[in-house]
Amino acid sequence: MALEPGRLWRSRFKNGLQTLLIMAGLALVLSVPGYLLAGASGVLLCLASALLAVYFSGWIPARLILANAGAGLLRPHQAPELYRVLDILYRRAGLEIAPLLYYAPSRDLNAFAVGSRHDGGIAVTEGLLRALDLRQLAGVLAHEVSHLRHGDTRVMSMAAAMTRLTIWVTTLVQISLLVMLPLVMAGELVVPWLPLLLLALAPTLSTLLQLALSRNREYTADLEAAALTGDPHGLASALDVLERYHGSWLTTMYGRYQPAWLDWLRTHPPTETRIRRLRALGARPRQAGPPPVIRPPAEEPPIILERPGPLGGRYWILRR
């Protein structure tokens, strides 16, 4: 399966433009409490602190999560089929580093990219390996390879750092206002109500922008995953399994028709929309392109010949 000419590039351009606008919005929201705290100097200090936080948070948080989860490194001889698929996906994506696959002994159904395209890998959970077959896993791995390829981990770390910094600076300004409350009550200090209203909304706006950024990059990752595997139905099938697992509590709480405002709080776009787009790709006549990584049907799940032990926090913190 090959995407029609220009579609992938249009998606990348749209993704990049939306990312730029959302990051500008995050910077603007961050500047509000910074300005109230120390004027123009506060804005510059907040933005400089965000850049510094990005440098350190780009790789530490995900690895600390893996360390706390007792994750281990899956070697090629422990999961030969998965590494064969991953090697093909890396070559098609133009990644020159050796594939690395990490294993987390969690029952949750999850997979995520760790690090960057120059020093990164993909983590999968025990629950995911048990729930999906090899064809479905190929689609999920291709999705995460796309995240590695375009540095999505770094971008999301930047957005998270700016959101956290917005919350911290907002809290600091609020504490300062409480300290100066006697001056306000005595009429010696005029309260700027409009900036204070923006200050109250800043953490919420920053969080919503961060979630929008995450949803924005997921659509492009789906499209690229379909191009890498040559099999959009594999990823669509995997998303269907994940939705039944992760979305069951929402169905229990809200029923079949969930309120529209929930979409604003999602880290990923609605799964039904993602599945519909992928199946639409698979329904088009096949064009010239790479053959599918896994040819259907794949009836048996991949066998993990040996589960690795945890690597420990020292490995995750010191490794670059």
Which pLDDT does position 215 carry in this prediction? 81
The answer to the question of residue 205 being in a domain is: yes
Q: What is the pTM of this model?
A: 0.78
Q: Where are the beta strands (DSSP E) in the chain?
A: 72-74, 101-104, 111-115, 120-125
The answer to the question of residue 81 being in a domain is: yes
Q: For the chain, percent helix, then strand, then coil, each to nearest 5?
A: 65, 5, 30
Domain holding 198, by residue range, is 7-318
On the question of pLDDT at 73 being above 60, the answer is yes
The residue-averaged pLDDT of 268-282 equals 81
CA 199 to chain centre: 27
Is residue 144 flagged as an active site residue? yes
Rounded to whole angstroms, what are the CA distances from 227 to 5, 11, 95, 221?
12, 13, 15, 10
Q: Give me the catalytic one of 81, 144, 218, 243.
A: 144
The answer to the question of residue 113 being in a domain is: yes
Q: Give the distance between the most distant pair of CA atoms in the chain.
A: 77
Which pLDDT does position 83 carry in this prediction? 92
Say if CB 167 and CB 206 are below 8 A apart.
yes
The answer to the question of residue 1 being in a domain is: no
The answer to the question of residue 287 being in a domain is: yes
On the question of pLDDT at 260 being above 50, the answer is yes
On the question of pLDDT at 6 being above 70, the answer is no
- How many helices (H) and strands (E) the chain has is answered by 12, 4
The answer to the question of residue 2 being in a domain is: no
On the question of pLDDT at 277 being above 70, the answer is yes
**Structurally, how many domains does the chain consist of?**
1
Segment 74-125, tens digit of pLDDT: 888 888 889 999 999 999 988 888 888 989 888 889 888 887 777 778 989 9
Cβ neighbours of 318 (radius 10 Å): 8
The residue-averaged pLDDT of 228-251 equals 80
The answer to the question of residue 240 being in a domain is: yes
Q: List the structure tokens of 289.
A: 């392109």
